[in-house]
Amino acid sequence: MTDKLNIQLGYPPMSEHREGLTTESHDWTMIQAGTLVKGQEVITIDGMLPVEEACEILIKHNISSAPVYDPAPSETTTIDHPKSYIGMFDYADLISYLLIVLRKEVPPEDETTLEIKELVKRALNGEQVPVKLASDLSRKNPFCSVLPEATLVSILDEFACATHRVAVMQSNGNIMGILSQSRVIDHLYKNIRHFPDLHPLVNKSLRQLGLGEAPVVSVDADAIVLDALSLMNKHGVSSLAVIGPNNSLVGNVSMTDVKHIVKTQQKLLWATCFQFLSAIRINQGVVDGQDRHPVFEVKLDTSLLMTMGKLVATKAHRLWVTDEAEAVIGLVSLTDILRAISQSTVNQ
Amino acid sequence: MGSSDLDRQIEQLRQCEIITENEVKILCQKAREILAEESNVQKIDAPVTICGDIHGQFYDLKELFKVGGECPDTNYLFMGDFVDRGFYSVETFLLLLALKVRYPDRITLIRGNHESRQITQVYGFYDECLRKYGSVNVWRYCCEVFDHLALSAIIDNKIFCVHGGLSPSVNTIDQIRTIDRKVEVPHDGAMCDLLWSDPDDIEGWGLSPRGAGYLFGGDVVQSFLHNNDLNLIARAHQLVMEGYKLLFNDTIVTVWSAPNYCYRCGNVAAILELNDKLESNYKIFEAAVGVDSRGAGVRKRAPDYFL
């Protein structure tokens, strides 16, 4: 039955999660946040740790973000955050921090909070910076929480606005887990046969859904990594296309790649983007015992289902959209997909 | 280019000495002529020794020949990924190519996913050519040869050999024969899948975490063997610490021939010897010891950042 479904959807028979032969219909909109994060080991970061140590925690646990708590809450802690969680520290924040330290690229005056002013002062003085000052430096990943009973359809609104993850928090302030965009797409994709409501949508192509065609922020393969990070920070994007000769897409530099910079004591910051990509790929292939394709891409005529599948399989947060000549014409991100799914509920 | 000239080049390459750019040009021309005549599914008669990824590990290739016998005394099939990562991709590929031109019926070379312009620019072969020859011409000549390599091989109509694995677009061997292979490795489609796919513990097909090709389960292998009257699929493409690994009730084997991969993984390597009755014998070998590591100093190796 699964095979027929997938062939009908224009996709080779899918094999993950074959729970018997039943294909019960479930209402995906009513899935609760708590069920999607069950059994997760929650990693949180003490706000007083220096930024470098906070980074090591992310690397060690192979996560890209973690909630930061203030061990000694004071009057200056804002009260709209539950309990003592004061933000999420992620690689975007780290990039902003590096740019301040290395290039004095300070956020504009009107966007600067007290925390950022304090951070800048310490960083420029060569002092250690506690991560609690850096946790919302990039202004891209605020601490958002939802109750375990919150339904997926309500969380989708948040995700559709480019929030990448929310903390699933019980009313006593205890974090059950972090629910990310990736986790939601993973669940919907692997259980798609239980969600017939979504079939008409996921069977459509990116072109039909108006996805995938948009100007992308790109960087030349010869540009140095520090310039690329600056560009990412300036445009507020989490990935840049790296363009080689003949306008070809040779790879991408993502926010999470900055972990390789930390691991190598920042030597890679002054490498070219191409050298950076090469170094990462060469190392990753040895660690995994198998090499990956330099670019993860789809076409405008690829179905939404196939696109979701590729994101789940590669664990990427976006796929590049290329034309017949392999030139990049756009990208499709987790946010784009969740927005499309969210909008489809409005249209019903 | 006479036989004696080629013999002299082979001897030189066996000492890990590169031949001139002009000699490479002529060698590649001759190789293309020979390879152009080969089928997408090149027929091989047993006995033959099957080898997996080499990845420029020249001195380990020499170990391989010590263990398996020199070419042409032993018939060989190399299943791709001759270049990238190791310090001696140039010498490795040119030696195999020279042996192919000298003894075309004793050695078969099929294409791996690394025999590609895009991949060799990222993983080291391009840089090595530039460094050793001062220009990109040798890289260009080699890429043209890559385009001509067969996609797969079949031994006595019973053992199918391919670098990566199977494709949902391909049910029969005959379908592979219809592919236009003399192109850069595409980003998707049958030719891409054959060079990028991996067997996996699933039923049916799955999308690959590599971002190209597919994952395929034991049931897919079973169907393919049945539909094509085969006994076994031999492939490479994935590091195996023990050198070789049989899966799915011994219907598919991964053979990996680069010991101590990237000079740091600590794995052993393997070759698969088939006698004329198609009986298999796996031989394990380790990395060459006391190797001239002049390559280590000269190469500005990006992986140093991670050591």
ipTM score of the complex?
0.89
**Residues of B near A (CB-CB distance < 8 A)?**
85, 113-114, 118-119, 121-124, 168, 187, 196, 198, 202-212, 214, 217, 237-240, 261-262, 264-265, 302-303, 305-306
Length of chain B: 307
Q: Chain B: nearest CA to A119, how far in angstroms? A: 29
Asked if residue A171 and residue A51 are part of one domain, the reply reads: yes
Residue of higher predicted confidence among A51 and A13 = A51
Let me know if residue A24 belongs to a domain: no
Nearest chain A residue (CA) to B210: A292
Predicted confidence at residue B205, as pLDDT, reads: 94
Range ranked top by mean pLDDT from A49-63, A278-292, B42-56: B42-56
Evaluate whether residue A340 is within a structural domain: no
pLDDT value of position B296? 44
A23 falls within a domain:
no
The answer to whether B255 and B271 are in contact (CB under 8 A) is yes
Q: Cβ separation of B203 and A18 shorter than 8 Å?
A: yes
Give the chain B residue nearest A267 (alpha carbons): B305
Q: Which residue of A has its CA nearest to B304?
A: A279
Closest partner CB to B205 (pick from A12, A278, A322): A12
Looking at the structure, tell me whether residues A166 and A292 fall in a common domain.
no
CB contact (8 A) between residue B187 and residue A3: no
Q: Quick one: pLDDT at residue B124?
A: 94
Nearest CA distance, B96 vs chain A (angstrom): 23
Q: How confident is the model at residue B265 (pLDDT cuts 50, 70, 90)?
A: very high
Tokens of A133: 């000052």
Q: Give the pLDDT band of residue A5 (cuts 50, 70, 90).
A: very low
Do A210 and A313 belong to one domain?
Answer: yes
Give the nearest partner residue to A313 out of B203, B206, B265, using CB atoms.
B206
Residues of B in Cβ contact (< 8 Å) with A268: 305
Q: What is the pLDDT of residues B55-90, one digit of tens each?
A: 999 999 999 999 999 999 999 999 999 999 999 999
Q: CA-CA distance, B302 to A264, in Å (whole number)?
A: 11
On the question of pLDDT at A84 being above 90, the answer is no
> What count of CB pairs under 8 Å joins A to B?
109
Q: Kindly name the residue from B55, B114, B163, B237 that is annotated as catalytic.
A: B114
Q: Is residue A14 part of a domain?
A: no
Give the confidence band of A76 by pLDDT, cuts at 50, 70, 90.
low
| Domain boundary residue, one of A190, A214, A245 | A190
Number of domains in chain A: 2
Query: What average pLDDT does the segment B24-31 reach?
Result: 98
Q: What is the CATH number of the domain that holds A258?
A: 3.10.580.10
Identify whether A20 is part of a domain.
no
Structural domain includes residue A180: yes
Mark whether A133 and A265 lie in a shared domain. no
Q: Which two tokens stand for residue A37?
A: 């994060």
Encode pLDDT of A180-200 as tens digits. 999 999 999 999 999 999 999
Q: Are residues A40 and A115 in the same domain?
A: yes
Identify whether residues A97 and A180 lie together within a single domain. yes
pLDDT at res. A114: 79
Same structural domain, A161 and A75 = yes
pLDDT (0 to 100) of residue A15: 45
Q: Do residues A232 and A162 share a domain?
A: no
3-class SS of residue A53 = helix
Looking at beta carbons, which residues of chain A come within 8 Å of B239?
289-290
How do residues B153-186 score in pLDDT, each as one tens digit?
Answer: 999 999 999 999 999 999 999 999 999 999 999 9
Indicate if A69 and A126 belong to the same structural domain. yes
Least confident of A72-81, B63-72, B238-247: A72-81
CA-to-CA separations, B103 to B10, B49, B62, B184, in angstroms, rounded: 11, 15, 18, 26
What integer pLDDT is reported at residue A24 of this predicted model?
Answer: 73
pLDDT digits (tens, 9 = 90+) for A244-283: 887 888 899 998 888 888 776 677 888 999 999 999 999 8
Mutation target vs B (from A189, A250, A268, A290; most B CBs, 10 A cutoff): A290
**pLDDT value, residue B294:** 42
A17 domain-assigned: no
Question: A75 pLDDT band (50/70/90 cuts)?
Answer: low
The answer to whether B205 contacts A15, with C-beta atoms less than 8 Å apart, is: yes
- Give the residue numbers in A contacting B (CB under 8 Å), as ranges: 3, 12-16, 18, 244, 250-251, 260, 263-264, 267-268, 275, 277-279, 281-283, 285-286, 289-297, 306, 309-310, 312-316, 322, 326
| A15/B214 touch (CB, cutoff 8 Å), yes or no | no
Contacts of B214 in chain A (CB under 8 A): 12
Using a pLDDT cut of 70, give the percent of chain A over it: 89
Residue A302's contacts (CB-CB under 8 Å, 6 or more residues apart) are A205, A206
Query: Which ranges in B15-124 belong to alpha helices (H)?
Result: 21-36, 58-68, 89-102, 117-123
- Entry pTM: 0.90
Catalytic residue status for B55: no
Which of B123, B127, B207 is best to mutate for the A interface (most A CBs within 10 A)?
Answer: B207
Q: What is the mean pLDDT of chain B?
A: 94
pLDDT tens readout for residues B172-231: 999 999 999 999 999 999 999 999 999 999 999 999 999 999 999 999 999 999 999 999
pLDDT at B307 over 70: no
pLDDT of residue B295: 44
> In the prediction, which pLDDT does A71 show?
79
The predicted structure's pLDDT at residue B169: 95
Name the nearest CA neighbour of A42 among A166, A163, A134: A166
Compute the nearest-CA separation of B89 from chain A (Å).
15
DSSP line for A68-89 = EE-SS--TTS-TTSSTTEEEEE
Q: Following CA atoms A111, A114, A118, A119 in sequence, which dihedral angle do they give, to the nearest 10 degrees?
A: -50
Does A11 reside within a domain?
Answer: no
Q: Which domain holds residue A146?
A: 34-190
Where a domain ends, among A164, A190, A216?
A: A190
Q: Which of A10, A13, A12 is nearest to A1 (CA)?
A: A13
Tell me what pLDDT residue B1 has. 65
Q: Are residues A211 and A180 in the same domain?
A: no
- Choose the closest CB to A293 out of B198, B210, B261: B210
Q: Each residue of A210-241: pLDDT tens digit? A: 999 888 999 999 999 999 999 998 898 889 99
Tell me: the pLDDT tens digits for B94-120? Answer: 999 999 999 999 999 999 999 999 999
On whether both A125 and A74 belong to a single domain, the answer is yes
- A42 and A186 both lie in a single domain: yes
Of A264 and A203, the one with more pLDDT? A203
